[in-house]
């Protein structure tokens, strides 16, 4: 019925009309306003905190410091952060917090925060993870004795021997920058004590139930006494997976026992919250003359910034994707994530998959060039299929659709297939001799769900009501799935309606309020359609069975509520890396995609225009094709930003791109006039109705496809993102000089 249809998004009307309330739109009688006193240094010892002048300011209710935090530690994965830095403690980046000023008005809070005096002893700063790894480098966390937060090794076969036997060796070195999430809605919200005495936070969050775990830890308050409500979320992209405001709002409510509102400025969200990891990636590939890959060696180093956040799970992902969706008999991967005094780095759309994809797909085109082989043909020879080995010695689960995405994208973009040979289309060149066009292809893949042994699960509660005839009148789905703007509530409602055999108008998705809905895990890892979708599907099936039982028993009841918890490991138990060999079953499921970019390079200015993108994505089963096309548009947009302009710049630990005027993202004028979405459906038998994930995959192939297209147009390789005009111009000049 509704599955596979372009059901209109449940939230669209209120969002378009502007009546939907985002966290900053909530106000309460008697509310106070809070402002954070941020660290002034990327690395310094805090010697003294003097709050007296701020406290003496009329209208200031409280200056909260470390003394008010019951157990001063938190962190989504590793509790290596203090909520508020204590005297004698250290600031390790500019996002560390010294105090929170709570006042009767926002203006007073702003004025008083400037009056908090902090005495610092500045410390040497380390900002390049490659330097930070070296012995003798300043330590970000002394007690750890090293800045290396984590190291992953993957060893398969014998790379040295295979390199000797290879016909071609291609080496490369790739660098990706810090990237800002740029959600439209900066962090905001309100903390208060609810009618049942619970410390309650209204904020934009990706995983409200996990926020409560972290808050419960540092406030030393049982989780039942805490509550988080997630209304409309103005974009997330991984940036709301960690807490940047939720914990501060909870702390404010806990200390002052009144509603406290806090809204970050754009500058605060830019300077004081997490970013996407920069990666430094070295590749060495060996192949046979016929294009068969024989050995891949990769070293990748990621900049974790000042605190762990999710740097280890991000690195876990990155290492598993290091060599792309290809079959490799011999593999050696060393992956490191390293503390620095740069911004904390964290989840961002792709969670460790965009950086490796940029590197491995340019490597692939360099190899194609070295072999004199068409890039589509070379990929076709090596892409994984059902049952192919992962580089970690496992096999891919059924539903591997990558070849199909490449085939469909290549044919759409004008490639011809002749007896296994692939022939690239001739690209007509513009009349202006200084303008050159080129076409580039890139494939990419990413996990769906949490990996490496993490118990990925979601609980759905479904309440069914029916009339005397037994016809369902209403279904309420209660699930803690944050709708972060991607349309997941609509997709889940479609799955529910389809499973129950009722029109979607009869389905309601309850407000995400931890007091009312069960834990569904984070809105991340492109996992909700798969994991939460399976939970909703199974809960609906259970509800239908219970309804039939009740009708048969003729009890007269006209409603039933059931609960079901879906666990990824029911079907596919993932395992962590073996410490020496890296052997593991890494991921539950995957999404697959290929994009092809047509670009035009102005050789006099270095400006690159993206003229057209073909984007083929395997989603298993398209729950809502229109929303998938929307995801593709959004993913391509982010990918163009990654490819051509986005760069969150630090100097000595100080961010230099502090506002949107200094951090360009693509506008409508930077978007290609045409994006051709191609939806591929190779079902995953364990997904709900075959569905996989789509959220992150849409952005992965865009940047490497564009960079490969630039090479096709003008012969240069841009190995360090972004390919700004200046960089392309310089590379062209160097190329001409050679």
Q: At closest approach, how far in Å is the CB of 69 from ligand MOS? A: 26
When the beta carbons of 350 and 630 are compared against ligand MOS, the nearer one is 350
Query: What does the block give as tokens for 222?
Result: 């049982």
CA distance 485 to 238: 12
When the beta carbons of 438 and 487 are compared against ligand MOS, the nearer one is 487
Q: At closest approach, how far in Å is the CB of 351 from ligand MOS? A: 4
Q: At closest approach, how far in Å is the CB of 100 from ligand MOS? A: 26
When the beta carbons of 206 and 320 are compared against ligand MOS, the nearer one is 206
When the beta carbons of 2 and 206 are compared against ligand MOS, the nearer one is 206
Per-residue binding letters, 61-100, with ligand MOS (x by CB under 6 A): ----------------------------------------
DSSP codes of every residue in 125-179 = ----HHHHTSTTSPPSSGGGSSSEEEEEEEEES-HHHHHHH-SEEEEEEEEE--B
Per-residue binding letters, 335-374, with ligand MOS (x by CB under 6 A): ------------xxxxx-----------------------
Residue 733: partners with Cβ closer than 8 Å, 6 or more residues away: none
When the beta carbons of 238 and 518 are compared against ligand MOS, the nearer one is 238
Q: At closest approach, how far in Å is the CB of 230 from ligand MOS? A: 14
When the beta carbons of 116 and 619 are compared against ligand MOS, the nearer one is 619
> Quick one: which of 597, 607, 604, 458 has its CA closest to 529?
458
When the beta carbons of 95 and 238 are compared against ligand MOS, the nearer one is 238
Per-residue binding letters, 602-631, with ligand MOS (x by CB under 6 A): ------------------------------
Q: At closest approach, how far in Å is the CB of 201 from ligand MOS? A: 19
Q: At closest approach, how far in Å is the CB of 565 from ligand MOS? A: 21
CA distance 294 to 369: 17
When the beta carbons of 347 and 409 are compared against ligand MOS, the nearer one is 347
DSSP codes of every residue in 458-511 = EEEEEEEEE-TT--EEEEEEEE-----SS-HHHHHHHHHHHHHTS-GGGEEEPP
Q: How many residues bind ligand MOS (CB under 6 A)?
A: 10
CA distance 283 to 399: 28
When the beta carbons of 260 and 700 are compared against ligand MOS, the nearer one is 700
Q: At closest approach, how far in Å is the CB of 349 from ligand MOS? A: 5
Q: At closest approach, how far in Å is the CB of 81 from ligand MOS? A: 18
**Residue for token pair 């007296």:** 52
Q: At closest approach, how far in Å is the CB of 482 from ligand MOS? A: 10
Residue 551: partners with Cβ closer than 8 Å, 6 or more residues away: 470
Q: Which residues of 694-732 are buried (b: 16+ CB within 10 A; e: fewer)?
A: bbbbbbbbbbbbbbbbbbbbbebbbbebbbbeebbbebb
**Residue for token pair 């590793």:** 78
Q: At closest approach, how far in Å is the CB of 239 from ligand MOS? A: 8
CA distance 338 to 349: 21
Q: At closest approach, how far in Å is the CB of 151 from ligand MOS? A: 22
Report if residue 238 touches ligand MOS, rule: CB under 6 A.
yes
Q: At closest approach, how far in Å is the CB of 389 from ligand MOS? A: 25
Q: At closest approach, how far in Å is the CB of 401 from ligand MOS? A: 20
Q: At closest approach, how far in Å is the CB of 522 from ligand MOS? A: 6
Q: At closest approach, how far in Å is the CB of 13 from ligand MOS? A: 27
Exposed, middle or buried by CB within 10 Å (0-12, 13-18, 19+), for 568? buried
Q: Are strands 188-193 and 199-203 parallel, antiparallel or unpaired?
A: antiparallel
Q: Are strands 279-287 and 293-305 parallel, antiparallel or unpaired?
A: antiparallel
CA distance 338 to 693: 30
When the beta carbons of 524 and 631 are compared against ligand MOS, the nearer one is 524
> Quick one: which of 613, 723, 732 has its CA closest to 678?
613
Q: Are strands 275-276 and 148-156 parallel, antiparallel or unpaired?
A: unpaired
CA distance 531 to 535: 6
Q: Which DSSP helix (H) or strand (E) runs through 262?
A: strand 260-263
Q: Which residues of 159-198 are buried (b: 16+ CB within 10 A; e: fewer)?
A: beebbeebebebebebebbbbbbbbebbbbbbbbbeeeeb
Report if residue 458 touches ligand MOS, rule: CB under 6 A.
no
> Quick one: which of 134, 115, 118 has its CA closest to 126?
134
Q: At closest approach, how far in Å is the CB of 691 from ligand MOS? A: 17
When the beta carbons of 4 and 235 are compared against ligand MOS, the nearer one is 235
CA distance 221 to 294: 55
Report if residue 692 touches ligand MOS, rule: CB under 6 A.
no
Bridge partner list, 675:
613
Report if residue 524 touches ligand MOS, rule: CB under 6 A.
yes
When the beta carbons of 238 and 687 are compared against ligand MOS, the nearer one is 238
When the beta carbons of 206 and 589 are compared against ligand MOS, the nearer one is 206
For the four alpha carbons of 601, 602, 606 and 611, in that order, the dihedral sign comes to negative
Residues of this chain, 198-227, that bind ligand MOS according to CB under 6 A: 206
CA distance 405 to 198: 49
Q: At closest approach, how far in Å is the CB of 238 from ligand MOS? A: 3
When the beta carbons of 99 and 348 are compared against ligand MOS, the nearer one is 348
When the beta carbons of 33 and 642 are compared against ligand MOS, the nearer one is 642
Coil, strand, or helix at residue 214?
helix
Taking CA atoms, 236 is separated from 45, 270, 695, in Å, by: 32, 14, 11
Report if residue 241 touches ligand MOS, rule: CB under 6 A.
yes
Q: Quick one: how far is CA 151 from the chain centroid?
A: 21
When the beta carbons of 188 and 347 are compared against ligand MOS, the nearer one is 347
Report if residue 525 touches ligand MOS, rule: CB under 6 A.
yes
CA distance 436 to 428: 9
When the beta carbons of 320 and 363 are compared against ligand MOS, the nearer one is 320
Binding residues (CB under 6 A) for ligand MOS: these are: 206, 238, 241, 347-351, 524-525
């Amino acid at each position: 019925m509704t599955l596979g249809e372009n059901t209109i998004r449940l939230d669209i009307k209120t969002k378009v009309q502007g009546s939907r309330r985002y966290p900053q739109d909530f106000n309460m009688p008697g509310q106070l306003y809070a402002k954070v006193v941020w660290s002034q240094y990327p690395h310094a010892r805090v010697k003294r905190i003097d709050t007296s002048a701020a406290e003496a300011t009329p209208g200031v209710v409280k200056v909260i410091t470390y003394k008010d935090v019951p157990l001063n530690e938190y962190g989504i994965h590793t509790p290596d952060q203090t909520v508020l830095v204590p005297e004698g403690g250290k600031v390790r980046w500019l996002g560390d917090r010294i105090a929170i000023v709570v006042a009767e008005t926002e203006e007073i809070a702003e004025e008083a925060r400037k009056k908090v005096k902090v005495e610092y002893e500045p410390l040497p700063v380390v900002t390049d993870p490659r330097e930070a790894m070296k012995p003798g480098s300043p330590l970000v966390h002394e007690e750890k004795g090293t800045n290396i937060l984590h190291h992953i090794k993957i060893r398969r076969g014998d790379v040295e021997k295979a390199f000797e036997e290879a016909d071609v060796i291609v080496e490369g070195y790739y660098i990706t920058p810090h990237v800002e999430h740029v959600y439209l809605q900066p962090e905001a919200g309100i903390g208060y004590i609810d009618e049942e005495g619970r410390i309650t936070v209204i904020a934009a969050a990706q995983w409200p139930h996990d926020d409560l775990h972290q808050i419960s830890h540092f406030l030393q308050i049982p989780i039942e006494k805490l509550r988080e409500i997630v209304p409309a979320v103005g974009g997330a992209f991984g940036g709301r997976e960690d807490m940047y405001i939720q914990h501060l709002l909870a702390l404010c409510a806990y200390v002052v026992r009144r509603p406290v509102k806090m809204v970050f400025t754009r500058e605060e969200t830019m300077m004081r919250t997490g970013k996407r990891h920069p990666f430094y990636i070295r590749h060495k590939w060996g192949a046979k003359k016929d294009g068969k890959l024989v050995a891949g060696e990769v070293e990748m180093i990621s900049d974790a910034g000042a605190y762990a956040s999710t740097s280890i799970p991000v690195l876990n992902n990155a290492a598993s994707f290091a060599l792309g969706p290809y079959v490799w008999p011999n593999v050696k991967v060393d992956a490191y994530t390293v503390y620095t005094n740069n911004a904390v780095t964290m989840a961002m759309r792709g969670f460790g998959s965009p950086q490796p994809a940029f590197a491995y797909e340019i490597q692939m085109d360099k190899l194609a060039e070295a072999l004199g082989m068409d890039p589509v043909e070379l990929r076709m020879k090596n892409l994984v299929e059902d049952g192919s080995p992962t580089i970690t010695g496992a096999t891919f689960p059924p539903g591997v659709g990558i070849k199909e995405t490449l085939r469909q994208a290549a044919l759409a973009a004008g490639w011809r297939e002749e007896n296994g040979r692939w022939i690239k289309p001739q690209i007509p060149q513009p009349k202006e001799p200084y303008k050159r066009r080129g076409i580039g292809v890139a494939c990419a893949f990413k996990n769906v769900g949490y990996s490496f042994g993490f118990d990925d699960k979601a609980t759905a509660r479904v309440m069914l009501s029916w009339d005397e005839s037994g016809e369902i009148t209403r279904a309420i789905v209660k699930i803690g799935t944050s709708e972060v703007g991607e349309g997941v509530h609509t997709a889940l409602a479609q799955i529910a309606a389809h499973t129950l055999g009722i029109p979607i108008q009869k389905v309601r998705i309850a407000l995400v309020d931890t007091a009312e809905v069960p834990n569904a895990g984070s809105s991340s890892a492109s996992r909700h359609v798969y994991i939460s979708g399976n939970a909703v599907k199974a809960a609906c099936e259970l509800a239908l069975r219970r309804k039939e039982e009740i009708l048969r028993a003729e009890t007269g009841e006209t409603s039933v509520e059931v609960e079901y918890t879906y666990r990824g490991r029911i079907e596919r138990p993932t395992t962590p890396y073996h410490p020496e060999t890296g052997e593991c079953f890494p991921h539950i499921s995957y999404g697959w995609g290929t994009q092809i970019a047509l670009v035009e390079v102005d050789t006099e200015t270095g400006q690159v225009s993206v003229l057209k993108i073909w984007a083929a994505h395997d989603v298993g089963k398209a729950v809502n094709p229109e929303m998938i096309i929307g995801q593709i548009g959004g993913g391509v947009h982010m990918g163009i930003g990654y490819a051509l302009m986005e760069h969150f710049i630090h100097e000595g630990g100080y961010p230099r791109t502090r506002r949107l005027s200094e951090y360009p993202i693509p506008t409508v004028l930077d978007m290609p006039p045409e994006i051709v979405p191609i939806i591929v459906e190779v079902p995953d038998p364990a997904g709900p109705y075959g569905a996989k994930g789509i959220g992150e995959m849409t952005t992965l192939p865009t940047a490497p496809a564009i960079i490969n297209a630039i090479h096709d147009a003008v012969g240069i390789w841009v190995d360090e993102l972004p390919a700004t005009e200046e960089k392309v111009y310089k590379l062209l000049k160097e190329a001409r000089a050679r």
